[in-house]
Structure 1
Amino acid sequence: LAFSEGRYQEAIEALEDAASVARRRREHIVFEPPACSAMLARCYLATGHLDLAKKWVQQVSTDRFTNPLNREQNQISIARVQVALGRPSDAMATLAPLRLSAEQDQHYRHLVEIQLVYSEALFAEGKTIEAEQMLAQAVQRASEAGFMRLLAEESPTIRQLCRALPVLKAPGRWNSRVTAMLSELAEAETAETEPEDSQRDTQAAPGNTDLPEPLSQRELEVLDLINQGLANKDIANTMGVAPTTVKAHIRNLYGKLAVGSRTEALARARELRLLA
């Protein structure tokens, strides 16, 4: 859940804790636990720690997995890291044998992931037509199975490519919900990387210059609405943006104010004279 909501450090801590429990209680665990390492690699990629992801690939061994689902998860994560490291041909070589076995074993979630990562590798090699065909197959299969969040958890590259697919522009409840979800994520990413001009406009605000990184105009607006007691949903309605965007603004202002809650944010803002 933490990974799905973009709280990657929290996800890493939970995964490391799970792996520790699995090691300590190994003799008491009847079935092979889920593959924590595969999700850990995705967290490294999501946070931009390519060095840690590369180190993980060098250390991980799929031979120790008796559960085929765990083996597939790790192979898919290995391919993700290979794409991120600029080795798309290696990624396709890793994924090629998995495509047939995942389909034969009816591991449809993994099959969709395999096709999505394979399409990203094809795009990285400049094979646009093949990549679009593979991506369309993945989206079609995801639609048939009802997967939605699966697409939202993919890399920014895949999400952008999915939004441009003609198949997602067709009428339908699933298409509209997935398109809305991907659009919200894109809007949130834009909010996290606001232009420097927006930042400069707010530096003259009283107390804002005391911060190492001043709050943007939108972040100040969110702060004021928090001070008025509005919930995230109400803030989104007031500002005319998606709730995901509000969460991104709040995450940003928490980081700039070095706080971890609304109460702390308001207290710190008053210290800096950002609020009356």
Structure 2
Amino acid sequence: MHSPQELGTYCLNAFTRAVPASLAAFYRIDDGLSAVDFQLHGDPARMHDSYLRRYRHLDPLQPGYCQRLERGVVSLRDAQRLQSKQRNDGYQTFLSQHDVVDVTEVLFYRHRRPVMGISLLRKSCFGRFNSHELATLQSLQEMLQLAVTHTPHALAPAEYVPVSLTKREAQLVPLLREGASNKAIARALGIEPSTVKTHLDNLYRKFEVNNRTELVGRL
């Protein structure tokens, strides 16, 4: 593995081939035990954006909670035992809005601290993860854990390379951070929505991201 992006792609492909998932996300875990640098699979961008803005604090599968269980594979049901019913109900409301019926987290550790993870989400068409599927995830986790232990460089943030922006692209940045829609950006800058889309496509290319959520994360 030569970069976190390549490692993320490998993990997402391997785990979703072994155990079907409607949506998935690969992420690093920073020193504060927060998930960062998300890499999405299955086009969950809209759900992910809502998660980051409104529901992340209710998630029982956050790395800090999962670390307390000291497991490589953590089911939603097990994680829910670590927080109050009120918080669980709030998070369940979020999942139901997107037809998600189950979530399983796969964590990888170094020196007993989680350093990266994968979220696997199931919609109603797949049903909940069964015991056989959880065992399969556990086997994959154990194999990849060996690679994580012996290749720490693969998890380090990529070396920062300054990105050169045009004047108009720079004007988009604060609006994107605020979560403004294309139409709102167009009105604020006095340009057409199609022009906003063109600038966004250029920003995706410059920052080497695939969607708006990843771009905002990089910004």
Q: Which has the larger radius of gyration?
A: 1
TM range (shorter): under 0.3
More strand by share: 2
TM-score, length-normalised on structure 1?
Answer: 0.23
